[in-house]
Structure 1
């Protein structure tokens, strides 16, 4: 869990916070905890402001922070996307007078809580302003959890609510939500409501109540291909069509997974682990782990063939050529024929 949350919940508040990372659950929970700790519900309309720094200059944000609270004692100001703290290029034409922020950090308004949300994996530590802000602010890391950390998040939330969850159920919840912590936490709320009386969550509960994510269905479809079960892969595809999923989206996700498997296979030859590759390729560690496992079921030539055919299907879908629901069907048949020819 996030150690800084306890102080926020106890209303031991800092004047400036800096959230760094791409895990939406941690970001959204931190913002919610700050809002609940700083302002009563009837104070939020006048004393809460949320800015996007790709659309608003930092001076406007600081003016808001320096404005006295209205019908209350505190003001909460959240500023997202401070690209001036990173090395990333931005399309925004907004110019920020960062010297104003340096001045503010030297003497922040004691009646305001200013929170920066940087949805990046890391800031540019070479910049003077980055160093200053990290020194002055309470820094909260919103990094994506590892597999063990993910399972701990689920287990801890269950325990905090007086529930126990089977280890197998915990792992299955992670699989069905494709390692998406926000989705997993929402599904856990549903499971706790379902087992409110017994306070025990079992694997069977997860199987009955948790809906597979689209990404998880794509994993299963590829598992069928690895097992050379084209009919099984087609059944999953038809189920997705019944759920109103668009063929172009399904093809794009299948292509993305094949591309990832190809990249992981190349990195594996260089001695790079799936965990390390996740950082290099900027993908979720759980997805990298699953893709690395699936990649072992395909040869390099099969992956190259699949990517070539999927690129052609994607082009035809985008240009309106042919019946869109048939594109993935033809791909599955062509891949099956190619693999049979390889074995012959």
Structure 2
């Protein structure tokens, strides 16, 4: 079952005894669990928190079986449990305890590995999910798309008493990426800067944190459009901020791989949706690959292959050479600029 806030509210009103949220992103499950807890805590139940990925069955049984001092149900929180670390026997006992307990309400979360844009729960994870679906509200939470993230950003700004200038939330996503914890922290910082008024694009550009992926993509665009001096200045800033040269190179490689995939897709008559599905870009594909497609159109295939060879050599040199890492990166940027202007 997929997460629905409407269905969550319905289960909360009906007195459901178990809430299990799982996703690939911790921010997603934490947000959903907090919404449930906000409502459950209105009844002021006694609460037991069992931290750690693998609370013992004995701890769970003890917490669930302890009668509340006030005679109501006890609230048992199990954040980020990891079913795969339980033995088959202990996992079965856990499922039995969740099903048999009458004196507790469970709120549980788990992180599930994502492959090619989809959650891939393992055998034990599937068993716990199946058991919880029979007992209470057990849901998968998918990553929001760009439009949903923009809506969330506006809501988070309103919660702290601020608003976004038109387009400013989009600018923030461009710079921060899709990490919801980072976005919420940035919004809190920008709201304070705006004196809890309107957050403008200029404020985002001046103060907003930029992810390495976003910064290196801008470097690629500068190189491709012949603005090599500005690209070198961007690189200098990244190095001054003590970004690891190997991580910068890795982000550059990722951007050029995106360009190559999109180029190949276009010339194989496969659309961006096909490329996204083939390579597991998930919900962020539409915007990310849309920008990449415009840049990829400037290249011939052999140019992109040459750029990837330059970056592969840079990666090897950084990991083995005694030469100055900053100089190696600067040299590689020049070579990328030349490769992008190479004749057919």
Q: Per the shorter chain, which TM-score range?
A: 0.7 to 0.9
| 3-state SS of 2:210 partner | coil
Q: Which residue of 1 aligns with 2:23?
A: 21
Could you list the runs of 5+ residues in structure 2 that have no partner in the other structure? none
> Counterparts of 1:220-231 in structure 2 under 5 Å?
220-231=218-229
**Would you say the 8 A contact 1:47–1:70 is kept in 2?**
no
Q: CA RMSD in A?
A: 3.5
**Would you say the 8 A contact 1:15–1:113 is kept in 2?**
yes
Worse overlay, 138-147 or 75-84: 75-84
Q: Which residue of 1 aligns with 2:308?
A: 307
CA shift in 2, pair 1:104/1:68, >3 Å = same
- 1:160 Cα deviation (Å)? 4.2
How does the TM-score come out when normalised to structure 1? 0.80
Instruction: Find the aligned partners of 1:227 and 1:212 in 2 and give their Cα distance.
Output: 21
Q: After superposition, what is the alpha-carbon deviation per residue over 1:283-342, rounded to whole angstroms, capped at 9, x for unaligned?
A: 343444433443333322122112222112112212244221122212122223334442
Could you list the runs of 5+ residues in structure 1 that have no partner in the other structure? 85-91
Matched, 1:166 2:165: yes
Q: 1:217 aligns with which of 215, 218, 224?
A: 215
| 3-state SS of 1:254 partner | helix
| 3-state SS of 2:119 partner | coil
How does the TM-score come out when normalised to structure 2? 0.80
Matched, 1:122 2:119: yes
Q: Which residue of 2 aligns with 1:74?
A: 74
CA shift in 2, pair 1:140/1:296, >3 Å = farther
| 3-state SS of 2:167 partner | helix
Q: Which residue of 1 aligns with 2:297?
A: 296
CA shift in 2, pair 1:18/1:209, >3 Å = same
CA shift in 2, pair 1:289/1:65, >3 Å = farther
Instruction: Find the aligned partners of 1:110 and 1:276 in 2 and give their Cα distance.
Output: 50
- 1:240 Cα deviation (Å)? 0.7
CA shift in 2, pair 1:248/1:104, >3 Å = same
**Would you say the 8 A contact 2:112–2:121 is kept in 1?**
no
| 3-state SS of 1:172 partner | helix
Q: After superposition, what is the alpha-carbon deviation per residue over 1:3-48, rounded to whole angstroms, capped at 9, x for unaligned?
A: 169749x8876432222322332223234445555569x999x821
